[in-house]
Amino acid sequence: MTAKRIMSNPTDCIFCKIGSGQIPSACVWTSKEAIAFLDVNPLAEGHTLLIPKQHFADLRDIPADLLGRMLAQAPKLVDAIVRATGASGLNFLQNTGASAGQAVFHVHFHFIPRQANDGLGFRWNAGSYEPGRADALQAAIKAWL
Ligand code: AMP
Ligand code: ZN
């Protein structure tokens, strides 16, 4: 069964408005098709978001070639954010779907600078597979690709 997807409306989308300059953002980098700006409620100082200017609800919707051009900027962004904040690490995150924490349904990538012992955490409780379950999942995922 496939979970119902939230399809946001581009005419009422906060990130479309940031992309078009209708509402202000603390932009750190822009191109004709993408923009990176500071998250207004940062998990750490320097927390930055990278978005396409065109509206796509989540990672399943954005064309691969546009995604590739956008993500080509990621290494430079990581380096600049780490240098500017004095961070010793950075989490590069993407939330797809409300259950994964997506609140803004215009695809975006988080760059969250990290320091040792900053209290943000990153260890999730890892599980394990019952015999045969990993094989079944491997086959199912491959079948959908
Ligand atoms: P997500 O939970 O992955 O959908 O993340 C959405 C992020 O967008 C959150 O971290 C918000 O703080 C951030 N955000 C929402 N509105 C704005 C805004 N106007 N400017 C900058 N960041 C925003
Ligand atoms: Zn949008």
Atom of ligand 1 nearest to the CA of 47: 10
Q: How far is CA 55 from CA 62, 70, 71, 72, in A?
A: 8, 14, 16, 19
Q: Give the list of residues 6+ apart from residue 80 with CB closer than 8 angstroms, or none.
A: 28
What is the pLDDT confidence band of residue 11, given thresholds at 50, 70 and 90? confident
Ligand 1 pocket check for 39: Cβ under 6 Å:
yes
CA of 89 to the centre of ligand 1 (A): 21
Report all structural domains of the chain as residue ranges with CATH numbers, in order of start.
10-118 (3.30.428.10)
Q: In whole angstroms, what is the distance from residue 57 CA to residue 14 CA?
A: 12
CA of 16 to the centre of ligand 1 (A): 12
Contact 52, 34 (CB under 8 A): yes
What SS3 class is residue 17?
helix
For 103-113, the pLDDT digits (tens) are 999 999 999 99
For 76-129, the pLDDT digits (tens) are 999 999 999 999 999 999 999 999 999 999 999 999 999 999 999 988 999 999
Is 47 one of the annotated active-site residues of the chain?
no
Question: Would you say residue 17 has pLDDT above 90?
Answer: yes
Q: What is the mean pLDDT of residues 10-22?
A: 94
> Which amino acid does the sequence have at 31?
S
Of 41, 91, 102, 120, the residue with max ligand 1 atoms within 8 A of its CB, to mutate for a pocket test, comes to 41
Contact 25, 38 (CB under 8 A): yes
